[in-house]
Amino acid sequence: MDIRTLCLGILTMGDATGYEIKKTFEERLDLIFQASYGSIYPALNKLTEEGLVSCRAQSQEKRPDKKIYSITSAGRYLFFDEIMKKPAADRFRSEYLATLMFAHLLPAAAISELIDERIADRLQKIESLMSDCDTRQTDREQFLCNYGRTMYQAEIEYLQENRHLLEADALLGSRAAE
Amino acid sequence: MDIRTLCLGILTMGDATGYEIKKTFEERLDLIFQASYGSIYPALNKLTEEGLVSCRAQSQEKRPDKKIYSITSAGRYLFFDEIMKKPAADRFRSEYLATLMFAHLLPAAAISELIDERIADRLQKIESLMSDCDTRQTDREQFLCNYGRTMYQAEIEYLQENRHLLEADALLGSRAAE
DNA sequence: TGCTATTATATCGATTTGATATATTGTCCG
DNA sequence: CGGACAATATATCAAATCGATATAATAGCA
Protein backbone atom coordinates (compact mmCIF):
# COMPACT_ATOMS: atom_id res chain seq x y z
CA MET A 1 0.00 0.00 0.00
CA ASP A 2 1.60 3.22 -1.16
CA ILE A 3 0.42 6.81 -0.96
CA ARG A 4 -1.31 6.45 -4.32
CA THR A 5 -3.47 3.64 -2.93
CA LEU A 6 -4.22 5.54 0.25
CA CYS A 7 -5.39 8.56 -1.76
CA LEU A 8 -7.80 6.18 -3.41
CA GLY A 9 -8.93 5.04 0.03
CA ILE A 10 -9.56 8.58 1.18
CA LEU A 11 -11.64 9.19 -1.94
CA THR A 12 -13.89 6.23 -1.01
CA MET A 13 -15.06 8.49 1.84
CA GLY A 14 -16.13 11.23 -0.57
CA ASP A 15 -14.89 13.55 -3.30
CA ALA A 16 -11.99 15.80 -2.43
CA THR A 17 -9.34 18.14 -3.78
CA GLY A 18 -5.63 17.46 -3.38
CA TYR A 19 -5.56 20.02 -0.63
CA GLU A 20 -8.37 18.31 1.24
CA ILE A 21 -6.67 14.94 0.88
CA LYS A 22 -3.56 16.42 2.45
CA LYS A 23 -5.68 17.73 5.32
CA THR A 24 -7.19 14.28 5.81
CA PHE A 25 -3.70 12.80 6.09
CA GLU A 26 -2.83 15.41 8.70
CA GLU A 27 -6.00 15.31 10.74
CA ARG A 28 -6.97 11.66 10.60
CA LEU A 29 -3.96 9.59 9.58
CA ASP A 30 -1.02 11.50 11.00
CA LEU A 31 -0.37 8.85 13.65
CA ILE A 32 0.21 6.11 11.11
CA PHE A 33 0.83 7.52 7.65
CA GLN A 34 2.23 10.82 6.44
CA ALA A 35 2.13 12.24 2.93
CA SER A 36 3.37 15.46 1.41
CA TYR A 37 2.08 17.45 -1.56
CA GLY A 38 5.07 16.21 -3.47
CA SER A 39 3.62 12.71 -3.39
CA ILE A 40 -0.11 13.49 -3.37
CA TYR A 41 -0.34 15.62 -6.52
CA PRO A 42 1.66 13.26 -8.72
CA ALA A 43 -0.36 10.36 -7.28
CA LEU A 44 -3.63 12.03 -8.28
CA ASN A 45 -2.33 12.69 -11.78
CA LYS A 46 -1.34 9.09 -12.19
CA LEU A 47 -4.64 7.81 -10.81
CA THR A 48 -6.49 10.06 -13.26
CA GLU A 49 -4.44 8.77 -16.20
CA GLU A 50 -5.24 5.23 -15.18
CA GLY A 51 -8.97 5.92 -14.92
CA LEU A 52 -9.08 5.07 -11.21
CA VAL A 53 -10.29 8.55 -10.31
CA SER A 54 -12.02 11.23 -12.33
CA CYS A 55 -11.42 14.92 -12.02
CA ARG A 56 -13.71 17.86 -12.58
CA ALA A 57 -12.41 21.40 -12.42
CA GLN A 58 -14.46 23.96 -10.57
CA SER A 59 -13.45 27.41 -11.67
CA GLN A 60 -13.50 29.97 -8.90
CA GLU A 61 -13.69 33.67 -9.42
CA LYS A 62 -10.51 35.00 -7.94
CA ARG A 63 -8.75 31.84 -6.76
CA PRO A 64 -7.04 29.12 -8.73
CA ASP A 65 -9.37 26.42 -10.04
CA LYS A 66 -10.35 23.66 -7.69
CA LYS A 67 -9.80 20.18 -9.03
CA ILE A 68 -12.27 17.89 -7.40
CA TYR A 69 -11.43 14.20 -7.59
CA SER A 70 -13.92 11.32 -7.45
CA ILE A 71 -13.11 7.64 -7.28
CA THR A 72 -14.38 5.56 -10.22
CA SER A 73 -15.78 2.07 -9.92
CA ALA A 74 -12.51 0.70 -11.31
CA GLY A 75 -10.80 2.60 -8.51
CA ARG A 76 -13.08 1.09 -5.90
CA TYR A 77 -12.37 -2.42 -7.12
CA LEU A 78 -8.62 -1.80 -7.11
CA PHE A 79 -8.67 -0.34 -3.62
CA PHE A 80 -10.62 -3.30 -2.35
CA ASP A 81 -8.03 -5.64 -3.87
CA GLU A 82 -5.24 -3.65 -2.24
CA ILE A 83 -6.63 -3.77 1.30
CA MET A 84 -7.20 -7.51 0.96
CA LYS A 85 -3.45 -7.96 0.47
CA LYS A 86 -1.22 -8.70 3.41
CA PRO A 87 0.10 -5.32 4.58
CA ALA A 88 3.87 -4.79 4.48
CA ALA A 89 5.77 -4.47 7.76
CA ASP A 90 5.64 -1.19 9.66
CA ARG A 91 8.43 1.25 8.97
CA PHE A 92 9.68 3.12 12.00
CA ARG A 93 12.54 5.53 12.16
CA SER A 94 13.49 7.43 15.28
CA GLU A 95 16.32 9.91 15.29
CA TYR A 96 15.58 10.33 18.95
CA LEU A 97 16.28 6.72 19.89
CA ALA A 98 19.22 6.58 17.50
CA THR A 99 20.69 9.52 19.39
CA LEU A 100 20.20 7.70 22.69
CA MET A 101 22.18 4.76 21.32
CA PHE A 102 25.16 7.12 21.45
CA ALA A 103 24.34 8.44 24.92
CA HIS A 104 27.85 7.54 26.09
CA LEU A 105 29.16 10.38 23.90
CA LEU A 106 26.76 12.95 25.36
CA PRO A 107 27.11 15.00 28.55
CA ALA A 108 24.88 13.69 31.34
CA ALA A 109 22.81 16.86 31.38
CA ALA A 110 22.02 16.53 27.68
CA ILE A 111 20.69 12.99 28.17
CA SER A 112 18.40 14.01 31.01
CA GLU A 113 17.17 16.94 28.99
CA LEU A 114 16.44 14.73 25.97
CA ILE A 115 14.40 12.37 28.12
CA ASP A 116 12.54 15.17 29.89
CA GLU A 117 11.64 16.75 26.59
CA ARG A 118 10.48 13.44 25.17
CA ILE A 119 8.19 12.82 28.10
CA ALA A 120 6.80 16.35 27.83
CA ASP A 121 6.24 15.87 24.10
CA ARG A 122 4.45 12.57 24.63
CA LEU A 123 2.25 14.05 27.34
CA GLN A 124 1.33 16.88 25.04
CA LYS A 125 0.52 14.46 22.22
CA ILE A 126 -1.71 12.44 24.55
CA GLU A 127 -3.55 15.57 25.58
CA SER A 128 -4.17 16.64 22.02
CA LEU A 129 -5.39 13.12 21.20
CA MET A 130 -7.75 13.22 24.20
CA SER A 131 -9.69 16.16 22.81
CA ASP A 132 -9.53 14.73 19.29
CA CYS A 133 -10.86 11.34 20.35
CA ASP A 134 -14.23 12.71 21.43
CA THR A 135 -14.85 14.31 18.07
CA ARG A 136 -14.12 11.12 16.11
CA GLN A 137 -17.19 9.67 14.51
CA THR A 138 -16.39 6.07 13.68
CA ASP A 139 -15.28 3.24 15.94
CA ARG A 140 -12.24 2.81 13.69
CA GLU A 141 -11.08 6.32 14.35
CA GLN A 142 -11.66 5.90 18.08
CA PHE A 143 -9.63 2.72 17.86
CA LEU A 144 -6.72 4.50 16.20
CA CYS A 145 -6.89 7.46 18.52
CA ASN A 146 -6.78 5.28 21.62
CA TYR A 147 -4.04 3.19 20.06
CA GLY A 148 -1.92 6.31 19.90
CA ARG A 149 -2.69 7.26 23.47
CA THR A 150 -1.85 3.78 24.71
CA MET A 151 1.48 3.67 22.91
CA TYR A 152 2.51 7.13 24.07
CA GLN A 153 1.54 6.27 27.62
CA ALA A 154 3.56 3.05 27.52
CA GLU A 155 6.55 4.98 26.26
CA ILE A 156 6.32 7.54 29.05
CA GLU A 157 6.20 4.82 31.68
CA TYR A 158 9.11 3.00 30.13
CA LEU A 159 11.22 6.15 30.04
CA GLN A 160 10.44 6.99 33.64
CA GLU A 161 11.30 3.52 34.87
CA ASN A 162 14.41 2.99 32.77
CA ARG A 163 16.01 6.37 32.22
CA HIS A 164 18.51 5.55 34.96
CA LEU A 165 20.10 2.97 32.63
CA LEU A 166 21.20 5.76 30.30
CA GLU A 167 21.84 8.36 32.94
CA ALA A 168 24.09 6.06 35.01
CA ASP A 169 26.08 5.30 31.86
CA ALA A 170 26.64 9.01 31.33
CA LEU A 171 27.83 9.58 34.88
CA LEU A 172 30.44 6.87 34.44
CA GLY A 173 31.54 8.54 31.24
CA SER A 174 31.95 11.96 32.78
CA ARG A 175 33.76 10.51 35.80
CA ALA A 176 36.14 8.74 33.44
CA ALA A 177 36.74 12.03 31.62
CA GLU A 178 37.81 13.79 34.81
CA MET B 1 20.33 12.76 11.38
CA ASP B 2 20.39 10.86 8.11
CA ILE B 3 21.86 7.50 7.20
CA ARG B 4 25.15 9.15 6.32
CA THR B 5 25.46 10.48 9.88
CA LEU B 6 24.48 7.16 11.39
CA CYS B 7 27.17 5.37 9.36
CA LEU B 8 29.59 7.79 10.95
CA GLY B 9 28.19 6.87 14.35
CA ILE B 10 28.64 3.16 13.71
CA LEU B 11 32.24 3.80 12.71
CA THR B 12 32.87 5.48 16.11
CA MET B 13 32.50 1.95 17.51
CA GLY B 14 35.29 0.60 15.30
CA ASP B 15 36.40 0.20 11.69
CA ALA B 16 34.03 -1.64 9.39
CA THR B 17 33.23 -2.51 5.79
CA GLY B 18 29.98 -1.45 4.12
CA TYR B 19 28.75 -4.99 4.55
CA GLU B 20 29.48 -4.94 8.28
CA ILE B 21 27.76 -1.58 8.67
CA LYS B 22 24.66 -3.06 7.04
CA LYS B 23 24.83 -5.97 9.50
CA THR B 24 25.07 -3.52 12.40
CA PHE B 25 21.93 -1.80 11.20
CA GLU B 26 20.16 -5.15 11.02
CA GLU B 27 21.37 -6.63 14.27
CA ARG B 28 21.49 -3.63 16.57
CA LEU B 29 19.40 -0.82 15.10
CA ASP B 30 16.62 -2.63 13.28
CA LEU B 31 14.01 -1.55 15.86
CA ILE B 32 14.59 2.13 15.24
CA PHE B 33 16.48 2.76 12.02
CA GLN B 34 16.74 0.77 8.79
CA ALA B 35 19.19 1.25 5.97
CA SER B 36 19.75 -0.55 2.69
CA TYR B 37 22.94 -0.99 0.63
CA GLY B 38 21.53 1.54 -1.77
CA SER B 39 21.94 4.21 0.86
CA ILE B 40 24.97 2.90 2.75
CA TYR B 41 27.45 2.60 -0.12
CA PRO B 42 26.75 6.05 -1.57
CA ALA B 43 26.94 7.47 1.98
CA LEU B 44 30.39 5.94 2.51
CA ASN B 45 31.62 7.34 -0.79
CA LYS B 46 30.41 10.79 0.10
CA LEU B 47 31.91 10.62 3.59
CA THR B 48 35.24 9.58 2.07
CA GLU B 49 35.18 12.48 -0.39
CA GLU B 50 34.53 14.86 2.48
CA GLY B 51 37.38 13.48 4.57
CA LEU B 52 35.07 12.34 7.37
CA VAL B 53 36.10 8.72 6.96
CA SER B 54 39.18 7.14 5.43
CA CYS B 55 39.20 3.94 3.45
CA ARG B 56 41.85 1.28 3.04
CA ALA B 57 41.41 -1.57 0.59
CA GLN B 58 42.33 -5.02 1.77
CA SER B 59 42.83 -7.28 -1.21
CA GLN B 60 41.67 -10.80 -0.66
CA GLU B 61 42.79 -13.77 -2.67
CA LYS B 62 39.66 -15.06 -4.27
CA ARG B 63 37.01 -12.64 -3.06
CA PRO B 64 36.36 -9.05 -4.06
CA ASP B 65 38.48 -6.51 -2.18
CA LYS B 66 37.35 -5.47 1.26
CA LYS B 67 37.12 -1.73 1.77
CA ILE B 68 37.65 -1.01 5.42
CA TYR B 69 36.41 2.36 6.59
CA SER B 70 37.74 4.31 9.59
CA ILE B 71 36.32 7.51 11.03
CA THR B 72 38.70 10.49 10.96
CA SER B 73 38.93 13.07 13.71
CA ALA B 74 36.98 15.51 11.52
CA GLY B 75 34.32 12.81 11.32
CA ARG B 76 34.23 12.39 15.08
CA TYR B 77 33.76 16.11 15.61
CA LEU B 78 30.98 16.26 13.04
CA PHE B 79 29.18 13.28 14.54
CA PHE B 80 29.37 14.83 17.97
CA ASP B 81 27.83 18.04 16.58
CA GLU B 82 25.07 16.03 14.94
CA ILE B 83 23.99 14.15 18.06
CA MET B 84 23.94 17.39 20.05
CA LYS B 85 21.25 18.70 17.68
CA LYS B 86 17.60 18.28 18.53
CA PRO B 87 16.51 15.05 16.81
CA ALA B 88 13.74 15.34 14.19
CA ALA B 89 10.35 13.80 14.96
CA ASP B 90 9.92 10.05 14.62
CA ARG B 91 8.62 8.83 11.31
CA PHE B 92 6.17 5.96 11.54
CA ARG B 93 4.29 4.33 8.73
CA SER B 94 2.00 1.39 9.19
CA GLU B 95 0.23 -0.21 6.27
CA TYR B 96 -1.34 -2.52 8.83
CA LEU B 97 -3.09 0.24 10.77
CA ALA B 98 -3.94 2.06 7.54
CA THR B 99 -5.71 -1.10 6.40
CA LEU B 100 -7.65 -1.25 9.66
CA MET B 101 -8.87 2.30 9.05
CA PHE B 102 -10.84 0.77 6.17
CA ALA B 103 -12.06 -2.19 8.19
CA HIS B 104 -15.65 -1.36 7.24
CA LEU B 105 -14.82 -2.45 3.70
CA LEU B 106 -13.41 -5.80 4.79
CA PRO B 107 -15.22 -9.05 5.59
CA ALA B 108 -15.43 -9.70 9.33
CA ALA B 109 -13.27 -12.82 9.03
CA ALA B 110 -10.48 -10.86 7.36
CA ILE B 111 -10.38 -8.35 10.21
CA SER B 112 -10.15 -11.02 12.88
CA GLU B 113 -7.44 -12.75 10.92
CA LEU B 114 -5.44 -9.52 10.55
CA ILE B 115 -5.58 -8.95 14.29
CA ASP B 116 -4.72 -12.54 15.16
CA GLU B 117 -1.73 -12.42 12.85
CA ARG B 118 -0.57 -9.12 14.28
CA ILE B 119 -0.68 -10.46 17.82
CA ALA B 120 1.21 -13.58 16.75
CA ASP B 121 3.79 -11.45 14.98
CA ARG B 122 4.28 -9.21 18.00
CA LEU B 123 4.61 -12.20 20.33
CA GLN B 124 7.23 -13.64 18.05
CA LYS B 125 9.13 -10.38 17.96
CA ILE B 126 9.09 -10.19 21.75
CA GLU B 127 10.45 -13.70 21.97
CA SER B 128 13.30 -12.98 19.61
CA LEU B 129 14.09 -9.80 21.54
CA MET B 130 14.12 -11.77 24.80
CA SER B 131 17.00 -13.95 23.68
CA ASP B 132 18.74 -10.98 22.08
CA CYS B 133 18.53 -8.84 25.19
CA ASP B 134 20.73 -11.14 27.23
CA THR B 135 23.53 -10.98 24.71
CA ARG B 136 23.56 -7.15 24.63
CA GLN B 137 26.65 -5.69 26.18
CA THR B 138 25.89 -2.08 26.93
CA ASP B 139 23.15 -0.58 29.07
CA ARG B 140 22.09 1.45 26.05
CA GLU B 141 21.42 -1.66 24.03
CA GLN B 142 19.54 -3.25 26.93
CA PHE B 143 17.51 -0.06 27.12
CA LEU B 144 16.60 -0.23 23.44
CA CYS B 145 15.86 -3.93 23.53
CA ASN B 146 13.50 -3.58 26.49
CA TYR B 147 11.94 -0.53 24.87
CA GLY B 148 10.97 -2.74 21.96
CA ARG B 149 9.57 -5.43 24.22
CA THR B 150 7.53 -2.92 26.17
CA MET B 151 6.02 -1.33 23.09
CA TYR B 152 5.14 -4.67 21.49
CA GLN B 153 3.59 -5.85 24.74
CA ALA B 154 1.51 -2.67 25.03
CA GLU B 155 0.30 -3.17 21.48
CA ILE B 156 -0.74 -6.76 22.13
CA GLU B 157 -2.73 -5.76 25.18
CA TYR B 158 -4.39 -2.91 23.33
CA LEU B 159 -5.40 -5.16 20.46
CA GLN B 160 -6.81 -7.81 22.79
CA GLU B 161 -8.85 -5.28 24.74
CA ASN B 162 -10.10 -3.23 21.80
CA ARG B 163 -10.40 -5.54 18.82
CA HIS B 164 -14.13 -5.74 19.45
CA LEU B 165 -14.43 -2.11 18.28
CA LEU B 166 -13.37 -3.14 14.79
CA GLU B 167 -15.00 -6.53 14.79
CA ALA B 168 -18.39 -5.16 15.87
CA ASP B 169 -18.20 -2.62 13.05
CA ALA B 170 -17.64 -5.43 10.58
CA LEU B 171 -20.58 -7.44 11.82
CA LEU B 172 -22.86 -4.45 11.32
CA GLY B 173 -21.49 -4.10 7.82
CA SER B 174 -22.13 -7.71 6.87
CA ARG B 175 -25.61 -7.63 8.44
CA ALA B 176 -26.39 -4.54 6.39
CA ALA B 177 -25.21 -6.34 3.26
CA GLU B 178 -27.64 -9.20 3.79
C1' DT C 1 -1.39 49.24 7.38
C1' DG C 2 0.99 45.06 7.75
C1' DC C 3 1.24 40.21 9.45
C1' DT C 4 -0.15 35.72 9.54
C1' DA C 5 -3.28 31.90 8.50
C1' DT C 6 -6.07 29.49 5.14
C1' DT C 7 -7.24 27.83 0.64
C1' DA C 8 -5.34 25.87 -3.53
C1' DT C 9 -2.20 24.70 -7.08
C1' DA C 10 2.42 22.58 -8.39
C1' DT C 11 7.50 21.40 -8.99
C1' DC C 12 12.17 19.95 -7.81
C1' DG C 13 16.43 18.29 -5.69
C1' DA C 14 17.77 15.10 -2.28
C1' DT C 15 17.06 11.00 0.23
C1' DT C 16 15.87 6.35 0.59
C1' DT C 17 13.89 1.81 -0.66
C1' DG C 18 13.85 -2.51 -2.74
C1' DA C 19 15.30 -5.15 -6.42
C1' DT C 20 18.88 -6.78 -9.03
C1' DA C 21 23.71 -8.09 -10.63
C1' DT C 22 28.22 -10.33 -9.83
C1' DA C 23 31.41 -13.65 -7.71
C1' DT C 24 33.39 -16.91 -4.31
C1' DT C 25 33.25 -19.90 -0.24
C1' DG C 26 31.17 -22.76 3.21
C1' DT C 27 27.62 -25.75 4.86
C1' DC C 28 23.86 -28.72 5.00
C1' DC C 29 21.05 -32.47 3.22
C1' DG C 30 19.91 -36.36 0.60
C1' DC D 1 29.06 -36.55 -4.58
C1' DG D 2 26.05 -33.06 -6.17
C1' DG D 3 22.84 -29.36 -5.60
C1' DA D 4 20.88 -25.85 -3.08
C1' DC D 5 21.28 -22.29 -0.09
C1' DA D 6 23.39 -18.98 3.20
C1' DA D 7 27.10 -15.86 4.01
C1' DT D 8 30.61 -12.56 2.50
C1' DA D 9 31.39 -8.50 -0.29
C1' DT D 10 30.82 -5.12 -3.80
C1' DA D 11 27.64 -1.86 -6.36
C1' DT D 12 23.90 0.36 -9.25
C1' DC D 13 19.27 1.93 -10.64
C1' DA D 14 14.35 3.00 -11.09
C1' DA D 15 10.78 4.34 -8.31
C1' DA D 16 8.84 6.33 -4.17
C1' DT D 17 8.86 9.94 -1.02
C1' DC D 18 10.19 14.12 1.70
C1' DG D 19 10.79 18.80 2.58
C1' DA D 20 11.36 23.09 0.76
C1' DT D 21 9.88 26.43 -2.22
C1' DA D 22 6.90 29.22 -5.55
C1' DT D 23 2.57 31.49 -6.70
C1' DA D 24 -1.70 33.91 -5.61
C1' DA D 25 -5.90 35.49 -3.51
C1' DT D 26 -8.72 36.27 0.79
C1' DA D 27 -9.78 36.69 5.73
C1' DG D 28 -8.95 38.24 10.06
C1' DC D 29 -6.49 40.40 13.55
C1' DA D 30 -3.64 43.84 15.88
Nearest to B1 by CA among B86, B61, B58, B65: B86
Cα–Cα distance between A50 and A53 in angstroms, integer?
8
- The answer to whether residues A142 and A168 belong to one domain is yes
- The answer to whether residues B109 and B36 belong to one domain is no
On chain D, which bases lie within 7 A of the protein's CB atoms? 8-14, 16-21, 23-26
The strand C neighbours among B residues 55-74, by Cβ under 7 Å, are 61-64
Residue A24 is assigned to a structural domain of this protein: yes
Residue where a domain stops, chosen among A30, A53, A84: A84
Q: b vs e for A129-140, b when ≥16 Cβ sit within 10 Å of the residue's Cβ?
A: beebeeebeebb
Query: How many Å apart are B166 CA and C10 C1'?
Result: 38
* Contact between B92 and A32 (Cβ < 8 Å): yes
Residue where a domain stops, chosen among B84, B114, B135: B84
- The answer to whether residues B150 and B125 belong to one domain is yes
Residue B175: is its pLDDT beyond 60?
A: no
Nearest to B165 by CA among A120, A141, A106: A141
pLDDT one-digit tens code per residue, B39-90: 999 999 999 999 999 999 876 655 667 899 999 999 999 999 999 999 999 9
| HSE toward the beta carbon, residue A59, CA cutoff 13 A | 1
- The answer to whether residues B17 and B76 belong to one domain is yes
User: Predicted confidence band at A173 (pLDDT cuts at 50, 70, 90)?
Assistant: low
Nearest to A4 by CA among A32, A39, A51, A55: A39
CA dihedral sign of residues B144, B145, B146, B150: positive
> What sections of B29-92 are H helices per DSSP?
37-49, 73-84
Quick check: helix, strand or coil at residue A91?
strand
Cβ within 8 Å, pair A87-B93? no
- Nearest 5°: CA angle at A94, between A158 and A117? 55
Residue A89 is assigned to a structural domain of this protein: no
Nearest to A99 by CA among A115, A76, A79, A78: A115
The nucleotide minimizing the C1' distance to residue A68's CA is: C8
**Res A134: pLDDT:** 77
Neighbours of A16 (CB within 10 A): 21
Residue A64: is its pLDDT beyond 90?
A: no
Point out the residue among A29, A79, A165 whose CB comes nearest to the CB of B143: A165
Cα–Cα distance between A150 and B155 in angstroms, integer?
8
Point out the residue among A32, A79, A157 whose CB comes nearest to the CB of B97: A32
- The answer to whether residues B80 and B107 belong to one domain is no
> What is the count of structural domains for chain B?
2
Cβ within 8 Å, pair B87-A106? no
**Res B64: pLDDT:** 62
- The answer to whether residues A102 and A140 belong to one domain is yes
**Res B82: pLDDT:** 94
- The answer to whether residues B51 and B110 belong to one domain is no
Residue in A closest to B35 by C-alpha: A93
Residue where a domain stops, chosen among A62, A84, A106: A84
pLDDT one-digit tens code per residue, A3-27: 999 999 999 999 999 999 999 999 9
pLDDT one-digit tens code per residue, B15-53: 999 999 999 999 999 999 999 999 999 999 999 999 999
Top pLDDT among A132 and B93 is at: B93
- The answer to whether residues A80 and A101 belong to one domain is no
Tell me the pLDDT of chain B averaged across its residues. Answer: 90
Task: Give the domain extent around B130.
Answer: 95-177
